[in-house]
Amino acid sequence: MYDLHVHSSFSNDCRHAMEDMLKGALVKNVKTIAFTDHVDFEYGDCNLDLAFTPDDYIREYKRLKTNYKNDIQILSGLEIGMQPHLSKKANDFIQDYPFDFIIMSVHAAKGKGLYEGTYYKNRTPLQVYEDYYDDLIKILDNFDNFDVVGHLDLVERYRIHISEIRPLDEYKEILVEALKKIIKMGKGIEVNTSGIRYGIESFHPTKDILKIYKDLGGEIITIGSDAHKPEDICFAYHEATQLLKELGFKHISIFKNRKKHYIKL
């Protein structure tokens, strides 16, 4: 099993040390794990800086990589929360450190945070989707220092704030535009299995979006649990691989030194 989206106490929303998360992976016989801790230079209205301490992170990563080299492959990484105006700041941060893998995620859109719900206020249900993907497109136009887009349809996770869920067909055009850009850039997307844990009855992104990505020629895809505690590592991994097979995907990807390696499904 390969889990390329795992957090540790280097993320502000995780209480478990990197080694504790690693031990949880070993219990499940995970072959490869990537620690992709949060870096959000701004988050919504509060402008909260969630950047971690990279030197401490790298030091602990190297220690564990050495100590567990015969047990599991450990990859270093980031989940960088992007907004259109943060491209230079994010790029400068990333290039200073030798990470294996970078997830680019949109945690705030139009300057408003998704998690606390401020983004959804004063927007029609359709605007919720269109403005979110519009920001993603603006980011893609100016930022390419990443490997995959994380939980592509994250806007769905907080649907409690949406008065009426809109069908995919209503915003498919702008979604397809974003997917085409991702593919043209030579980047990928992830199957983030946490959606089911959050009660939306689907992975991020949904099966329909994964099918569109595949039909457009998208091939680069990773699987990540978005785990913040050891027991969630590789959550629903087998279900995710089965779905990808059903959709016609032949392999998943892992990244080492920012280079892609295919793993046959």
Please state, for a pLDDT cut of 70, what percent of the chain lies above it.
97
**Domain-wise residue ranges, the chain:** 2-264
Predicted pLDDT at 47: 54
* CA dihedral of residues 32, 18, 23, 4 (deg, nearest 10): -20
- Model confidence band, residue 49 (pLDDT cutoffs 50, 70, 90): low
**In Å, how far from its chain's centre is CA 232?**
15
State the Cα torsion 228-230-231-232 to the nearest 10°. 40
pLDDT at 158: 87
For 21, other C-beta atoms within 10 Å of its C-beta total: 24
Mean pLDDT rounded to a whole number for the chain:
94
For residue 46, the model assigns a pLDDT of 57
pLDDT-derived band at 240 (thresholds 50, 70, 90) equals very high
DSSP 63-79: HHHHHTTTT-EEEEEEE
User: What is the three-class DSSP state of 162?
Assistant: coil
Average pLDDT rounded to a whole number, residues 9-13: 89
Residue 232, SS3 per DSSP:
helix
Taking residues 157-175, what's their average pLDDT? 90
Instruction: Find the length of the chain.
Output: 265
Cα 261 to the center of its chain, rounded Å = 18
Which pLDDT does position 165 carry in this prediction? 86
The 10s digit of each residue's pLDDT in 179-208 is: 999 999 999 999 999 999 988 889 999 999
Please give the backbone phi and psi of residue 78, each rounded to the nearest 5 degrees, phi first. -140, 150
Query: Measuring CA to CA, how many Å separate 89 from each of 81, 82, 92?
Result: 11, 10, 5
First vs last C-alpha separation in the chain:
11
Contacts of 179 (CB under 8 A, 6+ apart): 189, 209, 212, 213, 216, 218
List the structure tokens of 67.
Answer: 């100590």
Going by DSSP bridges, is the β-strand pair 112-113/108-109 parallel, antiparallel, or unpaired? Answer: antiparallel
CA torsion, ordered 229, 100, 52, 68, to nearest 10 deg: 50
Rounded to the nearest 5 degrees, what angle is found at the Cα of 160, between the Cα atoms of 130 and 36? 75
Residue 52 pLDDT exceeds 80: no
Q: What is the band of 12 on the pLDDT scale with cuts at 50, 70, 90?
A: confident
Look up residue 8 and give its two tokens.
């540790």
pLDDT digit string, tens, across residues 100-159: 999 999 999 999 989 888 899 999 999 999 999 999 999 999 999 999 999 999 998 888
pLDDT of residue 32: 98
CATH superfamily, domain 2-264, is: Metal-dependent hydrolases (3.20.20.140)
In the predicted model, is pLDDT for residue 97 greater than 60?
yes
Q: Which two tokens stand for residue 88?
A: 């230079």
Rounded to whole angstroms, the Cα distance separating 63 from 187 reads 30
Q: Which residue has the higher pLDDT, 165 or 263?
A: 263
pLDDT value at position 163?
Answer: 79
115 by Cβ neighbours in 10 Å (0-12 / 13-18 / 19+) ranks as middle
Q: At 21, which helix (H) or strand (E)? A: helix 18-27
- The per-residue pLDDT for 48 is 54
Give pLDDT tens digits for 53-86.
889 999 999 999 999 999 999 999 999 999 999 9
Q: Which residues pair with 204 in a beta bridge?
A: 192
